[in-house]
Amino acid sequence: MNVSVPLLILPGHLCNRRLFTHQTNHLSDVADIAVADLYGADSVRRLAAIAIAPMPREFVVLANSMGGAVAFEVMRQVPERVAGLALVGTTARPEWPSQHARRRPAAELAARGDFKSIAEMYGPVFFHPERTQGGAHIRKLELMIEEAGYAGLRNQQKAFTDRPDSRPTLPDISCPTFVLCGRDDVVTPLDMSKEIADGIPNAQLTVLDTCGHIPMLEWPEETTGLIRRWLNSLRDQGGSS
């Protein structure tokens, strides 16, 4: 693997590159980073195709939350091009009722342009109560939602609501896979990360204590360090060239 790893980042629901600010700032010495915009299409199939279009022949994928649904679609479309897969606080399952119920009021708020209320609704669910940085993370979430706008949020909600069940294809993933989650994640609970790690051959699972759904913000230094270590392990294995 070259010193600079082509790294495709797939942000989660309501989020964009701001979610990975610490990682993009501190991993640029080991990775050539591209952060996908997951608002431009209303299906995970199309989002995956758009995300991989500018990537080189071989690359590594890092996905959070519903970005994981796009990552699994990437693995279905071009498995031979993916040299490594990192999944942070995500699930391989299709939409379930409590998720769908939360999306309805968010869509109504977005139609009114009330992005602050969406952030206030999701913030306490996304973050561990001890790791909100005095509400700074919720304010960042509001900014990302504003940047997406109503049309982007509408696209994303449809794509993620209609996402397929990726559990049957987990055993087909053969690249080195790293799974990371917060022990106190209530959006995609620990059991869902365990399910992914158990389903993908030789996947590695790491759990962060006192952490909710967004380790990149709740524990930025620790998360960046874990990703760096994983990227270095791919290089040592000679994964990408």
Q: What is the DSSP string of 101-148?
A: HHHHHHHHHHHTT-HHHHHHHHHHHHS-TT-STTTHHHHHHHHHHHHH
Q: Please report whether residue 167 resides in a domain.
A: yes
For position 81, what pLDDT does the model report? 98
Residue-wise pLDDT tens digits, 80-95: 999 999 999 999 999 8
Q: What would the two tokens of residue 73 be? A: 């679609």
Mean pLDDT over 13-31 rounds to 97
The pLDDT value given to residue 97:
67
- Please give the pLDDT value at position 241: 41
The answer to the question of residue 36 being in a domain is: yes
- pLDDT reading at 106 higher than 90: no
Residues 11, 20: contact at Cβ < 8 Å? yes
Q: Look at residue 108 and tell me if it is in a domain.
A: no
Question: Could you tell me if residue 31 is inside a domain?
Answer: yes
For residue 76, give both structure tokens.
């279905």
* pLDDT at 159 exceeding the cut of 60: yes
Compare 62 and 107 and report the one with higher pLDDT. Answer: 62
Phi and psi of 22, rounded to 5°?
-65, -40
Domain-embedded: residue 119 = no
pLDDT band at 240 (very low <50, low <70, confident <90, very high): very low
Any domain includes 224:
yes
pLDDT of residue 29: 95
For residues 36 and 49, is the Cβ–Cβ distance under 8 A?
no
Indicate the pTM of the whole model.
Answer: 0.94
Q: Does residue 127 form part of some domain?
A: no
Domain interval for residue 186: 5-95+160-237
| Domain containing residue 9: CATH number | 3.40.50.1820
pLDDT in tens, 187-233: 999 999 999 999 999 999 999 999 999 999 999 999 999 999 999 99
Domains of the chain: total? 1
Question: What pLDDT does residue 3 have?
Answer: 65
59-64, strands of its sheet edge to edge: 31-35, 5-10, 59-64, 82-88, 177-182, 204-208
pLDDT tens-digit map of 25-55: 999 999 999 999 999 999 999 999 999 999 9
Report angle CA 181, 182, 186 to the nearest 5 degrees.
Answer: 105
Tens-place pLDDT, residues 109-136: 999 999 999 999 999 999 999 998 889 9
The string of DSSP codes covering 46-67 is HHHHHHHTTS-SSEEEEEETTH
45 within a domain of the structure (yes/no): yes
